[in-house]
Amino acid sequence: MTQTQWILACNTTDIPENGGACVKINDEQIAVFNFTRRGEWYATQNLCPHKKQMALSRGMIGSVGDTCEPKVACPFHKKTFSLLTGECLSGDECAIKTYSVKVIDGKVWIGV
């Protein structure tokens, strides 16, 4: 197994509260979500696999079910994906990549 490499992505203030924004890491587009309400951070691929649009970072986040699984909804056709597992929650068989995030001293780091 390869070692996780931590890359500095942005400042915490760059990502809106309870929302997301896109960062560019090694020519890859990664959506970073600041789930302020839960005090949690998530990162996924920015590409929505449904119609291949670079848009997930502009989607609304929220939760689903009794377990409050955190999710993001693509702004194009409202396909939703788990922020924990990347699994598509709208019944489609496509999943997205998720990344680990850590926040240290106001800086957001992404594990790739």
Which of 4, 38 has the CB closer to other proteins?
A: 38
Report the nearest approach of other proteins to the CB of residue 103 (Å).
15
46 to 3, 30, 65, 95, 98: CA distances (angstroms): 23, 5, 24, 12, 10
Q: Which is nearer to other proteins, 9 or 101 (CB)?
A: 9
Q: Which two three-digit tokens encode residue 32?
A: 């970073």
- Comparing CB distances to other proteins, the nearer of 2 and 27 is 27
Q: How far is the CB of 37 from other proteins (least distance, A)?
A: 6
Rounded to whole angstroms, the Cα distance separating 89 from 25 reads 26
Provide the token pair at 102.
């850590």
Q: How far is the CB of 47 from other proteins (least distance, A)?
A: 8
Distance CA 28, CA 16 (A): 21
Binding site for other proteins (CB under 8 A): 9-10, 14-24, 29, 32, 35, 37-38, 47, 49, 51-55, 58-65, 68, 70-71, 73, 75-76, 78, 80, 89-91, 93-95
